[in-house]
Amino acid sequence: MTKHKPVLLKESVDYLITSKSGTYFDATLGFGGHSKEILNRLNKNARLIATDKDAEAFEFAREKFFADKRIEIYNASFTEIKTIARIEFIDKFDGILADLGVSSFQLDNPNSGFTYREKAPLDLRMDKNSNLTAKDILNNYDKEAIEEILRNYGEEKAARKIAKKIVALRKIEKFENTLQLRNAVAQIIPPNYLRKSLSRIFQALRIAVNNELDELKEFISDAVDLLKPGGRIVILSYHSLEDRIVKEAFKYEALPCICPPEAPICTCDKESRLKILTKKPVVPSEEEVKINFRARSAKLRAAERK
């Protein structure tokens, strides 16, 4: 099994923890790298609630933390944070962490279907019980919808040509596996650019299949509702679309007023709920990137509940 190396581990946990006996939420448990460090820094009265959509990550982490009674693990989306807090009789958290995207295990395990390097089913679901797969999108969505996904979620310049090729090829043979998609893209993109283009296309399909951007927006807003004054929210993102959402959401939550500038008095009732702690995102050191390639695109943003 490919071991997942936690990214910006010290930095993220330094930002997150304000009380050793507090209650924390790890939204993206994965292989428990961040959760383990959080638990190491907390005392015996502390609590940690963690979620992961992926059943394999959940099973792995459940075994890993079996003996630690301070942690409670859920195989659920982090958008369930409010429901889970209710189940656990938690009113507010001292800190909430999300390390977005997929783990090295998901990326490198051909059965997960997240890689374009090996032949695998075109799936890309983190939660294997959800209905929509990458195959469904490629075989059933119309050309314009596929183009939009590739452009909006992958920032792929050749989105139109690739969507047209996909729709032409699926009339001959339905898309079933990653190699078929790779071959379709290779008919449009020159070999030198193919790897980068494929990684953008897989990113785009993954975002669409898992509804990642909408879930992230919903999660941030709920997480801010659930933070104690002085509590921290820390988010690690791995591509510009995610980072933009985190940056904008934090900025919006920090604003005291959203009235138009020409309004004579404030009537908006907007409350400034966050103080931004990272004016610029924190990025990994060169040393970290050297030993962990996945860290190269990471950006950490942190904020404190007012």
Ligand X SMILES: C[S@@+](CC[C@H](N)C(=O)[O-])C[C@H]1O[C@@H](n2cnc3c(N)ncnc32)[C@H](O)[C@@H]1O
Q: Which residues bind ligand X (CB under 6 A)?
A: 4, 6, 28, 30-34, 51-54, 57, 77-78, 99, 101-103, 126, 215
Contacts of 1 (CB under 8 A, 6+ apart): 105, 109
Specify the residue, 140 or 240, whose C-beta has the smaller distance to ligand X: 240
CB of 219 to ligand X, least distance (A): 7
Identity of the residue numbered 1? M
Give the DSSP H or E segment for 300.
strand 299-305
Q: Which helix (H) or strand (E) holds 164?
A: helix 159-172
The Cα–Cα gap between 54 and 106 comes to 9
> Between 99 and 288, whose beta carbon lies closer to ligand X?
99
Q: Which is nearer to ligand X, 77 or 203 (CB)?
A: 77
Least gap, CB of 67 to ligand X (angstroms):
18
Residue 4 CB, nearest distance to ligand X (Å)? Answer: 5
| Cβ neighbours, 10 Å, residue 247 | 18
Closest separation between CB of residue 145 and ligand X, Å? 22
CB of 169 to ligand X, least distance (A): 30
Instruction: List beta partners, residue 299.
Output: 237
C-alpha distance from residue 78 to each of 54, 73, 275 (Å): 11, 11, 23
By beta-carbon proximity to ligand X, the closer residue of 30 and 113 is 30
Measured distance CA(41)–CA(30) in Å, rounded: 19
Task: Name which of 62 and 275 has its Cβ closer to ligand X.
Answer: 62
Nearer to ligand X, 134 or 167 (CB): 134
The Cα-based distances of 164 to 75, 234, 274, 277 in angstroms read 38, 40, 45, 45
* Least distance between ligand X and beta carbon 221 (Å): 14
| Cα dist from 127 to 73, 107, 188, 219, 300, whole Å | 15, 14, 31, 17, 25
Closest CA to 175 of 127, 137, 126: 137
Of 189 and 209, which has the nearer Cβ to ligand X?
A: 209
Shortest spacing between CB 40 and ligand X, in angstroms: 13
Report the C-alpha dihedral over residues 19, 25, 29, 35, rounded to 10 degrees.
Answer: 10
